[in-house]
Structure 1
Amino acid sequence: MSLPDLPDLDADVPEITAETLKSRLDDGEELMLLDTRPPAKHEEWRIDADSVTYVNRPYDNYLDGELTDELVAGLPDDEEFVVFCAKGHTSEFVAGKLRLAGYDAVALEDGMEGWARLYEYTELDTDFDGIVGQYYRPSSGCLAYLIVSDDEAAVVDPLRAFTDRYVTDAAEYGASIEYVIDTHVHADHISGLRELAAETGAKTVLSATAADRGVAYVVDVLVEDGDTITLGDADIKVIHTPGHTSGMTSLLVGDVLLTGDGLFTDSVARPDLEAGSEGATDAARTLYETIHERILPLSDGTRIAPAHTASATATSVDGTYTASLGELTAHMEALRYDRDSFVEYVLADMPPRPANYEEIIETNLGQTDVNDEEAFTLELGPNNCAAESTI
Structure 2
Amino acid sequence: MSEHDADQSSAVSPEELADAVESGESITLLDVRNREEIDAWRIEGPNVESVHVPYMRFVSANVTGDVGSLVDPERSYVVVCPRGEESAEVVGMLEDEGIDARNLSGGMAGWADVYRRREIGSTATDATVFQYHRPATGCLGYTVVDGGEAVVVDPLAAFSDRYLEDVADLDAEVVAVVDTHVHADHVSGLRAVADAAGVSPSIPAAAVERGIDYAVEGREDGDAIEVGGSELRFRASPGHTTGSVSLLLGDVLFSGDALFLNGVGRPDLQGGDADPSNLAGELHATLTERFAELPDDTVVAPGHVRPETAAPYTAALGALRARLSAFSEPRAAFVDRIVGSVGEPPANHGRIVAINLGREVVDDAAAFELELGPNNCAVAD
Q: State if a TM-score over 0.5 links the two structures.
A: yes
Query: CA–CA distance in 2 between the matches of 1:208 and 1:28?
Result: 41
Query: CA–CA distance in 2 between the matches of 1:367 and 1:239?
Result: 27
2:207 is the counterpart of 1:215:
no
Could you say if the C-alpha distance between residues 63 and 339 of structure 1 is closer, same or farther in structure 2, counting changes exceeding 3 Å?
Answer: same
2:218 is the counterpart of 1:226:
no
5 Å-filtered alignment, 1:286-365, equals 286-314=282-310, 319-365=311-357
Q: In 1, are the aligned partners of 2:252 and 2:298 still within 8 Å (CA)? A: yes
Query: CA–CA distance in 2 between the matches of 1:385 and 1:207?
Result: 19
**1:32 pairs with one of 25, 28, 33:** 28
Could you say if the C-alpha distance between residues 204 and 353 of structure 1 is closer, same or farther in structure 2, counting changes exceeding 3 Å?
Answer: same
What RMSD in Å do the two structures reach over aligned CA positions? 2.0
**1:135 pairs with one of 117, 132, 152:** 132
Q: Deviations over 1:221-263 (max 9, x none)?
A: 2111111112221121111111101110111101111110011
2:375 is the counterpart of 1:383:
yes
SS in 2 for 1:103: coil
Deviation at 1:67, TM superposition (A): 6.7
Deviates more, 1:92-101 or 1:167-176: 92-101
AA at the equivalent of 1:305:
A
SS in 1 for 2:33: coil
Gaps of 5+ in 2: none
2:188 is the counterpart of 1:191:
yes
Could you say if the C-alpha distance between residues 357 and 73 of structure 1 is closer, same or farther in structure 2, counting changes exceeding 3 Å?
Answer: farther
Deviates more, 1:319-328 or 1:78-87: 78-87
SS in 2 for 1:229: strand
Deviation at 1:74, TM superposition (A): 6.7
Q: In 1, are the aligned partners of 2:67 and 2:94 still within 8 Å (CA)? A: no
Q: In 1, are the aligned partners of 2:257 and 2:302 still within 8 Å (CA)? A: yes
2:114 is the counterpart of 1:122:
no
**2:150 pairs with one of 148, 153, 159:** 153
2:366 is the counterpart of 1:374:
yes
Deviates more, 1:66-75 or 1:233-242: 66-75
Deviation at 1:65, TM superposition (A): 4.7
Query: CA–CA distance in 2 between the matches of 1:349 and 1:89?
Result: 38
**2:202 pairs with one of 183, 199, 205:** 205
Query: CA–CA distance in 1 between the matches of 2:156 and 2:85?
Result: 26
Deviation at 1:69, TM superposition (A): 9.5
2:173 is the counterpart of 1:176:
yes
Could you say if the C-alpha distance between residues 277 and 59 of structure 1 is closer, same or farther in structure 2, counting changes exceeding 3 Å?
Answer: farther
SS in 2 for 1:122: strand
Could you say if the C-alpha distance between residues 34 and 68 of structure 1 is closer, same or farther in structure 2, counting changes exceeding 3 Å?
Answer: farther
Q: How many residue pairs are counted as aligned between the two chains? A: 378
Q: Deviations over 1:5-30 (max 9, x none)?
A: xx833444422101111222333332
The equivalent residue for 1:4 is none
Query: CA–CA distance in 1 between the matches of 2:304 and 2:67?
Result: 37
Deviation at 1:277, TM superposition (A): 9.6
Q: In 2, are the aligned partners of 1:11 and 1:99 still within 8 Å (CA)? A: no
The equivalent residue for 1:262 is 258
Query: CA–CA distance in 2 between the matches of 1:49 and 1:10?
Result: 29
AA at the equivalent of 2:78:
V
Q: Deviations over 1:139-167 (max 9, x none)?
A: 11100000112111000000011111111
Q: In 1, are the aligned partners of 2:207 and 2:243 still within 8 Å (CA)? A: yes
Query: CA–CA distance in 1 between the matches of 2:63 and 2:78?
Result: 18
Q: In 1, are the aligned partners of 2:6 and 2:103 still within 8 Å (CA)? A: no
SS in 1 for 2:275: helix
Could you say if the C-alpha distance between residues 63 and 305 of structure 1 is closer, same or farther in structure 2, counting changes exceeding 3 Å?
Answer: same
Deviation at 1:193, TM superposition (A): 0.7
Could you say if the C-alpha distance between residues 160 and 11 of structure 1 is closer, same or farther in structure 2, counting changes exceeding 3 Å?
Answer: closer
SS in 2 for 1:245: coil
Q: Percent identity?
A: 41
Query: CA–CA distance in 1 between the matches of 2:108 and 2:273?
Result: 31
Q: In 2, are the aligned partners of 1:329 and 1:335 still within 8 Å (CA)? A: yes
Deviation at 1:173, TM superposition (A): 2.0
Could you say if the C-alpha distance between residues 384 and 67 of structure 1 is closer, same or farther in structure 2, counting changes exceeding 3 Å?
Answer: farther
Deviation at 1:47, TM superposition (A): 1.4
**1:162 pairs with one of 159, 163, 169:** 159
The equivalent residue for 1:106 is 102
Could you say if the C-alpha distance between residues 53 and 195 of structure 1 is closer, same or farther in structure 2, counting changes exceeding 3 Å?
Answer: same
The equivalent residue for 1:8 is 2
Q: In 1, are the aligned partners of 2:146 and 2:229 still within 8 Å (CA)? A: yes
Deviates more, 1:281-290 or 1:183-192: 281-290
| TM norm structure 1 | 0.91
Deviation at 1:101, TM superposition (A): 2.9
AA at the equivalent of 2:47:
S
5 Å-filtered alignment, 1:5-84, equals 8-13=2-7, 14-66=10-62, 72=68, 75-84=71-80
Deviation at 1:121, TM superposition (A): 1.0
Could you say if the C-alpha distance between residues 271 and 10 of structure 1 is closer, same or farther in structure 2, counting changes exceeding 3 Å?
Answer: closer
SS in 2 for 1:268: strand
| TM norm structure 2 | 0.94
Q: In 2, are the aligned partners of 1:129 and 1:254 still within 8 Å (CA)? A: no
The equivalent residue for 1:283 is 279
Gaps of 5+ in 1: 1-6
